[in-house]
Amino acid sequence: MNNFIFQNPTKLVFGKGQIARLSALVPKERKIMVTFGGGSVKRNGVYEQVKEALKEHNYIEFWGIEPNPAVETLRKAIAQCKEENVDFLLAVGGGSVLDGTKLIAAGVCTDTDAWDIVLKGRADKSIPFASVMTLPATGSEMNSGAVISRRETQEKFAFYTRYPEFSILDPEVTYSLPANQIAAGLTDIYVHVLEQYMTTAGQSRVMDRWAEGLLLTVLEIAPKIKENQHDYATMADFMLTATMALNDFISMGVTQDWCTHMIGHELTALHGITHGASLAIVMPATMRVLREQKRSKLLQYADRIFHVEASTEDERIEMAIEKTEEFFRSLGLATRLSEVGIGDDTIETVAKRFNESGVAYGEAGNVTGDVARKILQAAK
Amino acid sequence: MNNFIFQNPTKLVFGKGQIARLSALVPKERKIMVTFGGGSVKRNGVYEQVKEALKEHNYIEFWGIEPNPAVETLRKAIAQCKEENVDFLLAVGGGSVLDGTKLIAAGVCTDTDAWDIVLKGRADKSIPFASVMTLPATGSEMNSGAVISRRETQEKFAFYTRYPEFSILDPEVTYSLPANQIAAGLTDIYVHVLEQYMTTAGQSRVMDRWAEGLLLTVLEIAPKIKENQHDYATMADFMLTATMALNDFISMGVTQDWCTHMIGHELTALHGITHGASLAIVMPATMRVLREQKRSKLLQYADRIFHVEASTEDERIEMAIEKTEEFFRSLGLATRLSEVGIGDDTIETVAKRFNESGVAYGEAGNVTGDVARKILQAAK
């Protein structure tokens, strides 16, 4: 096990009816900005619950943080916060609304342009923020990361900042999610776990078992959600799994990969493809191209997740990768670039961007543009 | 899943050589008391490392916090802290030293007698404290609980307080632990998990999988530790498992039991039997007596932990309980009261204490003195 330091101070407030607790959780002496996405919270009752809970608070609303939140939008929110002396932010929505809010919270504290904070990779200062999460997927509700896009240059990068003060997760708000968001969410969760798990075997028994527990949970609940999206127990499992998949709980002392995410971000930045959908295409190809490097863990994955039986190791690995791809397809997602109209031009653009950045990604720091090209070729 | 609120702010500093980080982690402007047990830290090099790291700090030492820390000892430390205006405590030792330190930290803030804090069950105030943990077992390094004994009345109770500011876990300090402490530690960890797991099935897929991951880890590492107590990877797994077994990470939204602990505490209070050793005797009997109530989870446990095969459910349950008892015996521990010289007198005393307390323990609140008697009779 590698040395590590772990600390996650976010308060998780989980369950039916918990949105009402906002009235006590959000500090009354602060000037609040409540941030939203496109308006689904007005249709599922969340907006009314938030309004009721905050009726004695001093707050303004900011609407329109889009999927893959754009720095162009967030700059406006930062300017408004500064004008109105906002000193606490509450994100109400999915991971994009919260990610965007993380950048607003950092942007308020500086005269630096918001995109420069993203490029730096880490915010020096931030006002406190919290969330009411409506879409189980990104794990942003209990981590310090955020991914921001810049429309004018078709770029998408992550940066790190403080943790949310608290996040409220009420599984009932997921009853009305559209099927494509659930599919992308389940994929995002599954791949978050794989990014922390599909590395080198034997680093930590506990972290391996916990990652496997999340993978098995996603595989179990996916068909059940399709059957009945109003089953509280299943949707609660869905919501808790999303949070636990990316809150540092399964990454203690183990190496991580994240090259699938880095490549997926490029596909989203260049083609607007949904984040989870990009991962469904890239992940199986990453496992194929890096199979020798990840051999020990691929075998463990084949055994513990899919219980595959075959005479050779290579067959077992191939079967596990196929089952992974099948799972994404069972969610209704494409797993090949050709299905979403992405061809060699984009592959070359991604390879060029990676090579020019001078950074090589992945657990071994060997995913250069040339390796990214191989991965995307394998995903054709 | 039940509604829950989770927040665990402790910073975990894990790995080789991390004790040196004390110099930055312990606040320099505070007056520190460093607390110790009986002196094993002088033999394993931990004391020298702590001294070196704190050479620029203003601290006093308090020695002699015993296993099952006694309020009689802790009162002396509280008095000394008050005299010397101590406002930060650092526990260096095992769970008993840290548990005792938690009571000192609370006792400093009040004129109430320390035992009354324990009886109340919760400390209203506490100065901050931290730990260098030398014995993987209690999980005290990342939770808010502590168990304190009162020698003069042969009582032992838990109370809750703030979380440690940080805990340093260096697996190398476990290389020199005596075999009986390792056996008791592994048992304590295993039973901590069972207290949160062996309830009713189907409450949370993730919590079930994570608890099972810890149980499987303990079963896997126990024989390896016996083979080679100097294998870093194994001892790191041991140490991380202890912390994760009792830091609220596997109890989100699920019912808990703890009746085995409550009964075990009585055996320790009345006979001085080591905590982990008391659990090895009580746990199999608890599973036998409450098998109908815990039927669904016992079957899941039989299947996922021991993969037992038998034609009837009852056989599978009995086999799983037998395997649990066998595991404790494989560690060299007694699993029957008769082996440790405890007879009917003590059983009656425990039953009487439980009945007189008016509190019934366990997940269903049905473990009265009469049920405790049945459990202890089954452990004869």
Average pLDDT over residues B29-54: 96
Write the residue in B12, B202, B217 that is nearest to A205 by C-beta. B217
Edge-to-edge strand list for the sheet holding A129-133 = A58-62, A31-35, A88-93, A129-133, A166-169, A4-14, B4-14, B166-169, B129-133, B88-93, B31-35, B58-62
Average pLDDT over residues B130-152: 97
Candidates A162, A209, A221, partner chain B, best to mutate (most B CBs within 10 A) = A209
Supply the angle between the helices B205-227 and B295-304 in degrees, to the nearest 10.
50
What pLDDT score does B348 carry? 97
| Contact assignment for B3 to A12 by CB distance below 8 Å | no
Average pLDDT over residues B177-188: 96
| Contact assignment for B221 to A205 by CB distance below 8 Å | yes
| Contact assignment for A206 to B221 by CB distance below 8 Å | no
Q: Calculate how close chain A gets to B333, using CA atoms only, in Å.
A: 25
> Taking a C-beta distance cutoff of 8 angstroms, is the pair B376, B337 a contact?
yes
Rounded CA separation A52/A44 (Å): 15
Predicted confidence band of residue B244 (pLDDT cuts 50, 70, 90):
very high
Which residues of chain B are within 8 Å of residue A217 when distances are taken between CB atoms?
Answer: 205-206, 209
| Contact assignment for A202 to B240 by CB distance below 8 Å | no
Tokens of B211: 């608890």
Query: What would the pLDDT profile of A144-183 be if each residue is shown by its tens digit?
Result: 999 999 999 999 999 999 999 999 999 999 999 999 999 9
Percent of the residues in chain A that have a pLDDT greater than 90, as a whole number: 99
Write the residue in A1, A12, A213 that is nearest to B236 by C-beta. A1
| Contact assignment for A5 to B12 by CB distance below 8 Å | yes
What pLDDT score does A276 carry? 92
The number of C-alpha atoms within 13 Å of B117 and in the hemisphere containing its C-beta is 29
Query: What would the pLDDT profile of B297-349 be if each residue is shown by its tens digit?
Result: 999 999 999 999 999 999 999 999 999 999 999 999 999 999 999 999 999 99
Which residues of chain B are within 8 Å of residue A4 when distances are taken between CB atoms?
Answer: 12, 14-15
What pLDDT score does B257 carry? 97
> Taking a C-beta distance cutoff of 8 angstroms, is the pair B206, B295 a contact?
no
Strand partners, B58: B31
Which residues of chain A are within 8 Å of residue B167 when distances are taken between CB atoms?
Answer: none
Torsion over CA of A91, B206, B163 and A124, rounded to 10 degrees? -40
Rounded CA separation A1/B324 (Å): 28
Q: Calculate how close chain A gets to B351, using CA atoms only, in Å.
A: 37
DSSP state of B162: P
What pLDDT score does A254 carry? 98
Residue type, A364: A
Q: Chain B residues with CB-CB distance to A under 8 A? A: 1-18, 171, 202, 204-206, 208-210, 212-214, 216-217, 220-221, 232-233, 236-237, 240-241, 244, 249, 252-253
Q: What is the pLDDT along chain A (380 residues), one digit of tens a residue?
A: 999 999 999 999 999 999 999 999 999 999 999 999 998 999 999 999 999 999 999 999 999 999 999 999 999 999 999 999 999 999 999 999 999 999 999 999 999 999 999 999 999 999 999 999 999 999 999 999 999 999 999 999 999 999 999 999 999 999 999 999 999 999 999 999 999 999 999 999 999 999 999 999 999 999 999 999 999 999 999 999 999 999 999 999 999 999 999 999 999 999 999 999 999 999 999 999 999 999 999 999 999 999 999 999 999 999 999 999 999 999 999 999 999 999 999 999 999 999 999 889 999 999 999 999 999 999 99
3-state secondary structure of B272: coil
Separation of first and last alpha carbons in chain B:
36
> Taking a C-beta distance cutoff of 8 angstroms, is the pair A347, A377 a contact?
yes
Tokens of B31: 């007056």
> Taking a C-beta distance cutoff of 8 angstroms, is the pair B280, B328 a contact?
yes
Dump strand ranges (E) for A26-163: 31-35, 58-62, 88-93, 129-133, 145-150, 155-160
- Ordered DSSP codes for B202-268: TS-HHHHHHHHHHHHHHHHHHHHHHH-TT-HHHHHHHHHHHHHTTSSTT-TTS----HHHHHHHHHH
Q: Average model confidence (pLDDT) for chain B?
A: 97
Q: Calculate how close chain A gets to B234, using CA atoms only, in Å.
A: 9
What pLDDT score does A211 carry? 98
- Ordered DSSP codes for B70-83: BHHHHHHHHHHHHH
| Contact assignment for A13 to B2 by CB distance below 8 Å | no
The 10 Å Cβ neighbour count of residue B90 is 29
CA A110 remoteness from chain centre: 26
Residue type, A355: N
Average pLDDT over residues B264-290: 95
Considering only CA atoms, which of A35, A111, A84, A68 is closest in space to residue A272?
A68
Separation of first and last alpha carbons in chain A:
36
Rounded CA separation B36/B34 (Å): 7
Rounded CA separation A125/A159 (Å): 13
Confidence check on the interface: ipTM exceeds 0.90, yes or no: yes
> Taking a C-beta distance cutoff of 8 angstroms, is the pair A221, A238 a contact?
yes
| Contact assignment for A240 to B220 by CB distance below 8 Å | no
3-state secondary structure of A361: strand
The 10 Å Cβ neighbour count of residue A292 is 8
> Taking a C-beta distance cutoff of 8 angstroms, is the pair B356, B350 a contact?
no
What pLDDT score does B123 carry? 98
Which residues of chain B are within 8 Å of residue A16 when distances are taken between CB atoms?
Answer: 3
Percent of the residues in chain B that have a pLDDT greater than 90, as a whole number: 99
